[in-house]
Structure 1
Amino acid sequence: MAICTHLATLETLIPAAEYACPECIALGDTWVHLRVCQECGHVGCCDQSKNKHATKHFRATQHPVIISAEPGEQWAWCYVDDQMAEY
């Protein structure tokens, strides 16, 4: 299977501006892992977290690619094509 065009054209990665999910903080909740939108830099919690803010951000904006904000993890995910790539 060929890599999707969203992941193939990913050149410069946007890192997390801070290690926190601002939406979870506003709700007084916690998160499991964080993801970073590669279109706008939004930091949101993963789908293992109660609120799934990264996926909610995708649904609201259609920004296709996130990367893991976790130390030591080097992967990207495309919501549109359901594909992952390591970098």
Structure 2
Amino acid sequence: MNVPVGLDPHLAFVRDDVEPRTPEGCQECLRIGSPWGHLRLCLTCGHVGCCDQSPRRHARRHAGLVGHPIIRSFEPGEDWRWCFVDEAPV
């Protein structure tokens, strides 16, 4: 995918058809019984992880482990996106 000049090149990782794997909460926190703060959706694979203010920061950990850089808020009424590589909104 060619990304227009001035746009984050990591947007090439974003898929239009991504579905949340665990819409009920953070995938890892649900498995281990840990609380979370806010949820983030990986726009490459649908992983649902907890935010950086959560105790375990699973969204950021997922991005680092598998190389999926762009997430969006998975909170009702929020539609912002973030690139972990550039540490910037997209």
Q: TM-score range by the shorter chain?
A: 0.7 to 0.9
Give unmatched runs, 5+ long, in structure 2: 1-5
**TM-score if structure 2 supplies the norm length?**
0.79
Q: Bigger relative contact order, structure 1 or 2, given CA contacts below 8 A and separation 6+?
A: 1
Matched, 1:67 2:77: no
What's the % identity of the aligned pairs? 45
Quote the residue 2:18 is aligned against: 14
State how 1:1-87 maps to structure 2 within 5 Å. Answer: 2-7=6-11, 10=14, 12=16, 14-17=18-21, 18-85=23-90
CA drift of 1:8 comes to 7.3
CA distance in 2, matches of 1:77, 1:58: 11
| Letter of the 1:22 counterpart | Q
Give unmatched runs, 5+ long, in structure 1: none
Against the structure 1 CA distance between its residues 41 and 9, is the aligned structure 2 distance closer, same or farther, given a 3 Å change threshold?
closer
CA drift of 1:15 comes to 4.5
CA drift of 1:7 comes to 3.4
- Decide whether the 8 Å contact of 2:13 with 2:43 is kept in 1: no
- Decide whether the 8 Å contact of 1:16 with 1:69 is kept in 2: no
Structure 1 stretches of 4+ with a deviation exceeding 6 A read none
- Give a deviation string over 1:25-78, Cα, whole Å, max 9, x none: 222111101111111111100001001000110111111101110011011111
